[in-house]
């Protein structure tokens, strides 16, 4: 029998697998309660882009789930609805072969696009952008629930667990026991609605911000969950720890014990709010640092009250005098110009 001709073209064709013969990559993303639309959408593309780098041109199947994010009627809130109804089928599906959500499943009718953008930026509709962030001028209450229920007592831990879709564990470090943490404190106008609660361990409850901006609270939880990700694995078997290390993760808490209070504030400003060196240089951190030094060394708490105006005013005054002494090289009197 005559030998079959082997050409360069046919060899390349043989080496190139057909898309339907490549093993598909299954992707999963659970939209955590602390992720709003603006945080979740870019992460979806990070997952898709990473899959393309690790398994070039392989069919991608994305399974999308939602944690919490319920409205007063029990359906999905604005952020999760926007993801399921619009963003995923319109923006993400072209880079996938299949998409599965709690409400719908789609198959890409066209060939999967493998030119996945590495970054994406979220914009806001013309004239509507102001409603998406906190109004720093009027300092309003910004809650996640559109209409809070009228209950007057906190919901049970069980009810919060069911809303969040988690067991009795801290949202940040997965440890227990946990405490019920208000997203927006009642003293600032927060409600007893189950959507205004998180489950946090005592340490993370102590660290959580007391602010009137619900989305900023959840952004802090998101930041702390990444910052303290190593805490999740402290009690895990060694085999699991080895796997986490092999993927580039940490299996121990981030040691911030040597940080002063002000250093912790600066760390958070950099890593949560994106402050740069220019932002810090535009602020008189020398005075603030000296103020906290005086506050720590020479003030106390009376009746457990920390925010006493008299204590803080004195500490700022002494801090200013100390800075002036450093500049002039002469000691300053700590007298006060009393009007009486």
The string of DSSP letters for 274-306 reads ---HHHHHTS-HHHHHHHHHHHHHH---BTTB-
Structure tokens at 55: 């398994």
The confidence score (pLDDT) of residue 34 equals 94
The 10 Å Cβ neighbour count of residue 205 is 17
CA Rg, the chain, in Å? 27
Structure tokens at 182: 């208000």
Question: Helix, strand, or coil here: 65?
Answer: strand
* Dihedral-angle region of residue 4 (phi above 0 means left; psi in -120 to 50 means alpha; beta otherwise): beta
The confidence score (pLDDT) of residue 178 equals 96
Give 10-residue mean pLDDT values along the chain (340 residues): 44 48 91 94 95 96 96 90 96 97 95 92 67 74 79 92 92 93 91 95 91 91 90 85 84 75 86 87 81 80 64 75 74 42
Cα–Cα separations (whole angstroms), residue 86 to 25, 41, 59, 78, 81: 23, 11, 22, 11, 8
Structure tokens at 326: 């450093």
What is the DSSP-derived secondary structure letter of residue 232? Answer: G
Question: Helix, strand, or coil here: 240?
Answer: helix
| pTM for this predicted structure | 0.79
Geometric angle at alpha carbon 290, from 300 and 286, rounded to 5° = 155
The confidence score (pLDDT) of residue 5 equals 45
Geometric angle at alpha carbon 179, from 258 and 206, rounded to 5° = 25
Strand boundaries in 101-221, DSSP class E: 105-107, 179-182, 197-200
Q: At what angle do helices 309-328 and 285-298 cross, to 10 degrees?
A: 120
CA 288 to CA 137: how far, in whole Å? Answer: 23
Strand partners, 60: 25
Question: Helix, strand, or coil here: 323?
Answer: helix
């Amino acid at each position: 029998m005559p030998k079959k001709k082997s050409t360069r073209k046919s060899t390349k064709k043989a080496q190139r697998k057909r898309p339907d013969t490549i093993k598909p990559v299954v992707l999963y993303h659970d939209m955590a309660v602390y992720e709003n639309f603006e945080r979740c959408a870019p992460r979806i593309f990070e997952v898709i882009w990473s899959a393309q780098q690790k398994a070039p041109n392989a069919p991608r199947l994305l399974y999308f789930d939602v944690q919490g994010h319920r409205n007063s009627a029990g359906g999905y809130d604005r952020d999760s609805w926007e993801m399921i109804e619009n963003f995923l089928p319109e923006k993400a599906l072209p880079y996938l072969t299949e998409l599965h959500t709690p409400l719908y499943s789609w198959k890409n009718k066209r060939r999967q696009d493998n030119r996945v953008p590495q970054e994406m930026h979220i914009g806001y509709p013309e004239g509507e952008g102001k409603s998406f962030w906190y109004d720093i001028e009027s300092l309003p209450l910004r809650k996640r629930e559109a209409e809070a229920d009228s209950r007057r007592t906190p919901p049970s831990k069980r009810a919060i667990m069911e809303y969040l879709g988690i067991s009795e564990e801290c949202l940040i470090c997965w440890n227990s026991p946990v405490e019920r943490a208000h997203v927006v404190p009642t003293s600032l106008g927060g409600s007893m609605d189950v959507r205004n609660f998180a489950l946090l361990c005592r340490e993370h409850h102590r660290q959580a911000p007391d602010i009137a901006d619900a989305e900023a609270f959840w952004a802090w939880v998101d930041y702390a969950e990444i910052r303290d990700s190593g805490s999740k694995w402290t009690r895990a078997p060694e085999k699991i720890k080895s796997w986490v290390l092999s993927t580039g993760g940490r299996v121990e808490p981030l040691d911030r014990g040597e940080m002063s209070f002000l250093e912790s504030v600066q760390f958070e400003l950099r890593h949560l709010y994106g402050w740069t060196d220019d932002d810090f240089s535009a602020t008189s951190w020398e005075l603030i640092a000296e103020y906290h030094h005086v506050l720590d060394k020479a003030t106390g708490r009376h009746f457990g009250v920390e925010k006493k105006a008299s204590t803080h005013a004195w500490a700022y005054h002494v801090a200013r005098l100390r800075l002036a002494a450093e500049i002039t090289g002469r000691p300053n009197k700590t007298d006060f110009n009393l009007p009486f």
